[in-house]
Structure 1
Amino acid sequence: MKTDTRHIILCDNVALPDSLTGTTPNHRVLRLINREGLANRNMSVKIHSFASHLQSKMPNRTRDLIEIAAFIYAADRQIKRGTTDQVEFTSWARELVFCIPVRDLFFWQQADITKQLEDALIFITGDKSYQFHFTKRIGLDPLTSLFHNDEIASEPMNTAVTCPVALFSGGLDSLAGVVSLLEKTSDKVIITSHRSNSATTRVQKRVYDALKQAYPSRLFYHPLECTLTNVRASEETQRTRFFLYTAVGYALAQAYGQNELNIFENGITSINLSKRQDVINGRASRTTHPKTLGLLQEVFSSVASRPFKILHPFLYWTKTEVVASLKQYNQQGLITATVTCTKTFLGFKNRTTASHCGYCSQCVDRRFAMYASQLDKHDAIYDFDLATEAFPCNDARTQVVDYMRHAHSFATTHFGEFCESYLDPLADLTAYIPSCKEEEEVTKLHELYQRHSAAVQRAYRRMVDTHYSIYGPPLPNSIYEVVNDRRFQRDRAQCLADDIAQMLTSTIPIALASTKVNHENALNDQIQALLKRDGAAYEREYPTVRFSFSTVVPDHSSTNADSDLFIEAKYIRRSTPPSKVTDQLAADIMKYPPGTYKLFVIYDPERRIKDDTGFKRDFEKRSNSTICVVR
């Protein structure tokens, strides 16, 4: 079946199988070359410091696994999902067919093995499907740049000694995890990291050097590089990066005689609960989700032909508790070396020495955790300081409001409501968390989110105590204004409706000052122009909403991933009785599903509505709607 989302990836000059001929246009056939000596090589995979005494412990099947993961990652970087506002499952999901040469063909061709791979990748990426066509790798198999020693000296070690193996990103959680391993054992600790760009490499080197100084001769470090060469990446979500990362972690654990791999991330980030299914399928990260780890554990156990465990020690820890563990071990001085920010590629203008933007979701989470644990004095430098400055852009305010809204929702959610609201994601969680009783696990998860909410409140109180005085001037457009207005307690769609209403109230009178509106279509033309002025995603007369046996088409709607907002415009003429508008609004409210939010823009130049407050109050308190009266 031909679809716009289907792509075929031919790896290391594998020929297109007859069964796939004609199923996909040539422009959706991607050719990836990793092996040295082949023409048009466009990707490179390197594991630094993988010494010769470990190479001999790398079975062909494990080499295959790393190369399969590398091909998948390279394809992920080159095959575009869609634009950032196309977040629904059907818009973002791709169908990827890989044709890959392998050494252990019998193993990889087994139906249950390919099914394990496909299931893991579909969940990790949110893609629609993965298919694999494996062929026998032919010719000599010389050592390639997969293993080399040009940067970090590696010494032979006794692989019979138990040495924990961990993933190491250079972030705060992985730092705390590696420190906890070093503190709990006197053995060596083996770490690996993925270097995706030069900035990431610098950060990881800096954190590694700080760890070496704090724990001399205790670390074995094997960084991984997997990069595209002579081609520019077109997709930056990099969902399959974690599969490659953990595959190398598995290979290292096996080479060092271990059957466990440690992964460190706080439970709130790992679980990443979201009520919206389209966000879950399309955009929500599943990198360290327990189901992801469980599915990968199944793959690695099959490759090893024995049980292999992926450990997640911080699953029931909040970010604040992770940070506090560094204080417990008296290693808070290492914090400044780490980078959590997702926007370092932008460059910083407010503070040129900053290492963090200060307002991306990761920065906001880190900032609150540092204040909650009373370690804010040990934190990094932020281009925007949310505790002392006004928001530099709308995105900054949105990130903070959403973060506080998320915490508030769990602070006010009792156990039964928690179970009901998150029934499906909790089912995915409990199925992959070792436990005797499901209810006990859900209880622990509920308590985790309750502690997170409490930590957010502690962090805000410390910000106020440290930086905000009731005797000083108010700081407009800041976190303190957000809290004072209780904006985070309102639904996203309601906040969006309020913002639009405020904007239209001030701009429509100006736009129509010298223009007489003769009909509602002309009014909607003006509203559409004003909504589109900042490039926001709004649609005119879309989508159709089903109601019983009929449909309703909104005048405008928001296509933002985080809110469903429908906008209706009404024009009250001199001859229009206000009761008619009341009847129209009541009828429109009934046509929309109960969970949707509505914004009604009432253009009333003749002042037919005598009591705006009473008119709006009666509607707004009975339905999910905002009434905006404009003159």
Structure 2
Amino acid sequence: MGAVAPLPEVEVRWLPPLTKSGGDEVLRLDIAGREVAMTLRIGQLNRQLVEGLQDRALDLLEIAALVYCADAAVSRGGLADQKMGEKWHRRFVATMPVRDLDFWQRESVIQALEETLMFLSGDRFEFSFSIKDEPDAERSRFFKFGRNSSWKPHRVLMFSGGLDSFAGAVEEIVEQKHRVALVSHASSTKIAPVQKRLISALSKRYGPEKCRHIPMTAQLKGRSTAERTHRTRSFLFAVLGSITAKAFGLDRLSFHENGVVSLNLPPVGSVIGTRATRTTHPKALNLLTGFLQLVFENDMRVDNPYFARTKAEVVERISELGMADQIVETRSCADVHNQTNQYFHCGRCSQCIDRRFAMLSIGLERFDPEDAYRVDLMSDARPNGIDREMALSYVRNAVLFENAMPDALIRNFPVVLDAVNHIDNPPDTAMVMIADLLNRHGKAVTSVMRRTLESKSPGEFPEQSLPRLYGAMQSALTLPFVPAASVDKNEKQQLPLSIEIDKASRLVVIGEHVELKKNATADLLVVLAQEWLRSAGEGLEPMDHHCVKSGELVEK
């Protein structure tokens, strides 16, 4: 094999500002010879808090803005290339001025920054820093100051307006009796009102002193956005949240997200992998924590209190704490731009599928009306191939998870070890915890499918609907015997295909050209071959061979 070609270089340069209007600053970057402008604004912090921030904290804010802007302005290749194709990974070479040059030139700092961005985005960022001119160092540029107040939170939480972040806010206020600062980024004008309504509901229910909204805006201007996967937005969010925590004299920032999403296991191969962010993956949180501790020189911690919970368990907490009536106001859909007053959720994306299964599994669907979904989970067809695979693979994974043991999970999803090695438990304990989490998630999803198919058979559902697809998948587990077609005696007959299996070595050789060794496919064929031989030894016809349940198959 030849050497891997180096990634093409995208140059990113920081341009001087045009205005200094305090909160209405427009950042300007030169990205591959094209000027790109971005609005960055943080609201509701008082001037005294901002004045106390270190220079390097403001540098960090601008670095995060540059990263987010570069990520959004350079395409990964579009849908045709998003199966981790050659354009997916990018290399950015950024030059920018900073206030605290000595700090940002430290090798340990640059290494921590670049490693964190590599894991979060899959891209390589290389930085070169210079000293910022004094006139450009004005610190109030990105802030819209709120009223002066002595109010101080116990906790700073990232707040998206989704179910998980809302549950986290409710739990902190109601159960922990904490005052919370809710830091939100409104990537769309359709989401900002949602966040405001939910925070207003919390204030009315528990008192205005219990929570304060810290809204952030980070948007490219004009038609500069060429890439909407936004893998680096989690870095921007963490920076915005940690600066808020630092301003309040706190050293902890929390993202609330259920553990199944945090693990980021690939349900549809690379199709989902390209779109799934790693915001709350344990490794991402550890990298962010280590980097931010260098910046702030304190014990700053970025964590996810919901890592051990499933989506259904998160939703259940909202109900238990008396806020189920607000579930309808939350938003989970990834397709924000196509939301309407009638359809809050597309019903096609993994977030919508996850949300709806959670509601149905715990019987709270009355708070989540099905007519708010453009595509109903069970009753509507999914004519688009990617949409069908999205829904079916979600269920397929749940079936695998339902009875999966730790060893089987490692074989089938080796990427799970990325999480195991970054959890504050011994590896074996962490793996058992993850297996238990996925077991509970799998049981919740499969219970919904079973109840659905008890009411009607798969064939009674519309063509290309999820129950119909699931029924076909289940039927495919039993392969019918197909008699060989008659062969003309004058035609050259092909030799039968031989399959050699060495169980001890986990080796499978198919014909003369295919060798599978010590991987999940080889393990699967070994197990299936054993079951075939057992059935054949009992003299059974192929249609009568023993079937292996998916859960048992994973364990074996």
Please state if 1:177 is matched with 2:164: no
1:273/1:422 contact within 8 Å kept: yes
Aligned partner of residue 202 in structure 1, secondary structure: helix
| Cα distance in 2 for residues equivalent to 1:101 and 1:459 | 55
| Cα distance in 1 for residues equivalent to 2:357 and 2:476 | 18
Where do 1:240-255 residues align within 5 Å? Answer: 240-255=232-247
Q: Which amino acid aligns with 1:5?
A: P
| Matched residue, 1:354 | 343
Query: Which of 104, 107, 110 is the matching residue for 2:103?
Result: 107
| Matched residue, 2:94 | 98
| Matched residue, 1:579 | 493
**1:146 offset after TM fit, Å?**
0.7
Q: Which amino acid aligns with 2:513?
A: K
2:331/2:345 contact within 8 Å kept: yes
Where do 1:432-451 residues align within 5 Å? Answer: 432-435=422-425, 437-451=426-440
Please state if 1:397 is matched with 2:388: yes
2:31/2:70 contact within 8 Å kept: no
Query: Which of 378, 401, 405 is the matching residue for 1:410?
Result: 401
**1:392 offset after TM fit, Å?**
5.0
Q: Which amino acid aligns with 1:402?
A: S
| Matched residue, 2:532 | none
1:297/1:310 contact within 8 Å kept: yes
**1:82 offset after TM fit, Å?**
1.3
Aligned partner of residue 316 in structure 1, secondary structure: coil
**1:80 offset after TM fit, Å?**
1.2
| Matched residue, 2:47 | 52
| Cα distance in 2 for residues equivalent to 1:103 and 1:409 | 52
Query: Which of 63, 68, 85 is the matching residue for 2:63?
Result: 68
Structure 1 unaligned residues grouped into runs of 5+? 15-26, 34-41, 499-570, 598-616, 622-631
| Matched residue, 2:379 | 388
1:360/1:399 contact within 8 Å kept: yes
**1:400 offset after TM fit, Å?**
1.7
For residues 61 and 474 of structure 1, do their structure 2 counterparts lie closer, same or farther at Cα, with a shift above 3 Å needed?
A: closer
Please state if 1:377 is matched with 2:370: no
| Matched residue, 2:24 | none
2:7/2:89 contact within 8 Å kept: no
| Matched residue, 2:13 | 10
**1:145 offset after TM fit, Å?**
4.2
For residues 29 and 397 of structure 1, do their structure 2 counterparts lie closer, same or farther at Cα, with a shift above 3 Å needed?
A: closer
Q: Which amino acid aligns with 1:481?
A: R
Please state if 1:367 is matched with 2:356: yes
2:267/2:394 contact within 8 Å kept: no
| Cα distance in 1 for residues equivalent to 2:160 and 2:15 | 29
| Cα distance in 1 for residues equivalent to 2:247 and 2:358 | 37
| Matched residue, 2:302 | 310
Aligned partner of residue 485 in structure 1, secondary structure: helix
Please state if 1:146 is matched with 2:118: no
For residues 596 and 200 of structure 1, do their structure 2 counterparts lie closer, same or farther at Cα, with a shift above 3 Å needed?
A: same
| Cα distance in 2 for residues equivalent to 1:31 and 1:133 | 19
Q: Deviations over 1:70-120 (max 9, x none)?
A: 111011110111132422364411111111111111101100000000000
Aligned partner of residue 225 in structure 1, secondary structure: strand
Query: Which of 482, 486, 494 is the matching residue for 2:469?
Result: 482
| Cα distance in 2 for residues equivalent to 1:11 and 1:471 | 58
| Matched residue, 2:38 | 43
For residues 165 and 184 of structure 1, do their structure 2 counterparts lie closer, same or farther at Cα, with a shift above 3 Å needed?
A: same
Please state if 1:591 is matched with 2:533: no
| Matched residue, 1:168 | 159
1:104/1:136 contact within 8 Å kept: yes
Please state if 1:339 is matched with 2:327: no
Please state if 1:452 is matched with 2:447: no
1:32/1:71 contact within 8 Å kept: no
Please state if 1:219 is matched with 2:211: yes
Aligned length: 491
Please state if 1:297 is matched with 2:292: no
For residues 277 and 136 of structure 1, do their structure 2 counterparts lie closer, same or farther at Cα, with a shift above 3 Å needed?
A: farther
Q: Which amino acid aligns with 2:471?
A: N
TM-score between both structures, scaled by the size of structure 2: 0.80
For residues 306 and 489 of structure 1, do their structure 2 counterparts lie closer, same or farther at Cα, with a shift above 3 Å needed?
A: farther
Please state if 1:328 is matched with 2:331: no
Q: Which amino acid aligns with 1:326?
A: I
| Cα distance in 1 for residues equivalent to 2:254 and 2:411 | 32
- Bigger radius of gyration among the two: 1
| Cα distance in 1 for residues equivalent to 2:466 and 2:85 | 33
| Matched residue, 1:285 | 277
**1:461 offset after TM fit, Å?**
4.0
1:11/1:32 contact within 8 Å kept: no
**1:246 offset after TM fit, Å?**
0.8
Please state if 1:77 is matched with 2:40: no
User: What is the RMSD of the two structures over their aligned residues, measured on CA atoms?
Assistant: 3.5
| Matched residue, 1:136 | 131
1:174/1:264 contact within 8 Å kept: yes
**1:12 offset after TM fit, Å?**
2.3
Please state if 1:428 is matched with 2:415: no
For residues 576 and 325 of structure 1, do their structure 2 counterparts lie closer, same or farther at Cα, with a shift above 3 Å needed?
A: farther
TM-score between both structures, scaled by the size of structure 1: 0.71
| Cα distance in 2 for residues equivalent to 1:322 and 1:374 | 13
| Cα distance in 2 for residues equivalent to 1:246 and 1:252 | 10
**1:474 offset after TM fit, Å?**
4.9
Please state if 1:125 is matched with 2:121: yes
**1:487 offset after TM fit, Å?**
4.5
2:399/2:446 contact within 8 Å kept: no
| Cα distance in 1 for residues equivalent to 2:272 and 2:352 | 22
Aligned partner of residue 199 in structure 1, secondary structure: coil
Q: Percent identity?
A: 28
| Cα distance in 2 for residues equivalent to 1:276 and 1:347 | 24
Q: Which amino acid aligns with 2:389?
A: T
For residues 144 and 309 of structure 1, do their structure 2 counterparts lie closer, same or farther at Cα, with a shift above 3 Å needed?
A: closer
For residues 276 and 455 of structure 1, do their structure 2 counterparts lie closer, same or farther at Cα, with a shift above 3 Å needed?
A: closer
Aligned partner of residue 223 in structure 1, secondary structure: strand
Aligned partner of residue 129 in structure 2, secondary structure: strand
Aligned partner of residue 322 in structure 1, secondary structure: helix
**1:2 offset after TM fit, Å?**
9.3
2:458/2:467 contact within 8 Å kept: no
For residues 488 and 221 of structure 1, do their structure 2 counterparts lie closer, same or farther at Cα, with a shift above 3 Å needed?
A: farther
**1:450 offset after TM fit, Å?**
0.5
For residues 105 and 269 of structure 1, do their structure 2 counterparts lie closer, same or farther at Cα, with a shift above 3 Å needed?
A: same
For residues 319 and 256 of structure 1, do their structure 2 counterparts lie closer, same or farther at Cα, with a shift above 3 Å needed?
A: same
